[in-house]
Every structure is written in structure tokens, then in C-alpha cells.
Amino acid sequence: MPRRLSYSARYPLHTTKEVYAALCDRAYWDARMAKMREYSPNEVISLEAGDGGIEVVLEHVLPRHMLPDLAQTVMRKDMLITRAETYGPYAPEVTGEFDATIPTAPGTLGGTMHLFPTDTGCTLRTTTTARVTIPLLGPRLEQLMLINLVDLLRAEAEFTQQWLEEQNPTS
């Protein structure tokens, strides 16, 4: 049975328009990937942003030696993750989807994103579904994937908050 998890990145004092503008900006994505390279190799493969919305494809490489022992039993090589994110056209509320593919892994990871205003700024909520099709190990690997994804989403949110402050200072 797949596991689900939601993570909310809150951006106090910043609007959905500011966050959406960042998501449209190649400089934002390049800077974000440069920051993420402190942990592992990351690249922006493509970015298309226009009136119809945003499509970005990212590539993350997790070296096998950095994977938890349980994951190393399944992964015999570095883990290559291709993550595609799509967001609809700008509106006060924006929805999107993401899909992460791992060619050598027996499972799926994907979900939805929802950018919406709050009383103090805005929030980007990511709801993820992880499914691993290995009997007995599947549930443990799904939980492991979601825990590690939350760490990644938290780091990305911290970077985005910093980027927003630099582009749109609130103080």
C-alpha cells in the first residue's frame, strides 16, 4: 500500500506572486541547484516558463555510499533521480504536480503541489505518494523515501525563503 505525506513550506511576508516569479526564474533554479550540490550532484535539465505555466526538470544524484543501509540492499549503483515539476498558470492559487523517476528502483514517487495565500504570506504544500513494490521491504523503503524527501523539501524551502528575502526584502 503506498504511503502519503504532506509538507508545507511557509513563506511569511511573501506573496504567491513572488514565489511564482521565483519558480519562473532560471537564476533561481540555478542558484537552488548550486546550493543543493553541497549535499550531492544536482542539475537543472530544463525550464520552460510562460503564460501557460511552468515545467522544470531536475536531476539529482545520490551516491550509493550516502544511501541508508536498507536502500543499499536494493540499489547497486548511485541513485539517479529525475524530478519533473509542472505548475499551472499564475493565479492567486496555483496547483502543480511532480513525478520523480528512479530508473533502477522498484517503485514510484510523485504528488501534487498547491501554492496559496495565507494571512501572513503564502504556503507551498507538497503532498507526496511513495510506492515500493518489494514484498516485506516495501513499507520500510517507502517510509525512508518520505523521510528523506522531507529533508530535501525543508532544505529547498530554506533556500527559497533566503532567495525571496534577497529579491523582495521585507525589512
Q: What is the CATH number of the domain that holds 94?
A: 3.30.530.20
Structure confidence by residue, pLDDT tens digits, 111-127: 999 999 999 999 999 99
Structure confidence by residue, pLDDT tens digits, 68-123: 676 666 666 776 789 999 999 999 999 999 999 887 777 889 999 999 999 999 99
**pLDDT higher for 43 or 73?**
43
pTM for this entry = 0.89
Instruction: Report whether pLDDT(141) > 80.
Output: no
Range of the domain at 106: 3-167
Helix/strand/coil (H/E/C) assignment for every residue in the chain:
CCEEEEEEEEEECCCHHHHHHHHHCHHHHHHHHHHHCCCCCEEEEEEEEECCEEEEEEEEEECHHHCCHHHHCCCCCCEEEEEEEEECCCCCCEEEEEEEECCCCCEEEEEEEEEEECCCEEEEEEEEEEEECCCCCHHHHHHHHHHHHHHHHHHHHHHHHHHHHHHCCCC
Q: How many domains does the chain have?
A: 1
Can you say how many angstroms the Cα of residue 170 is from the centroid of all Cα atoms in its chain?
Answer: 25
Range of 2-6, 40-44, 46-50 with top mean pLDDT: 46-50
Measured between its terminal Cα atoms, the distance across the chain in Å is 47
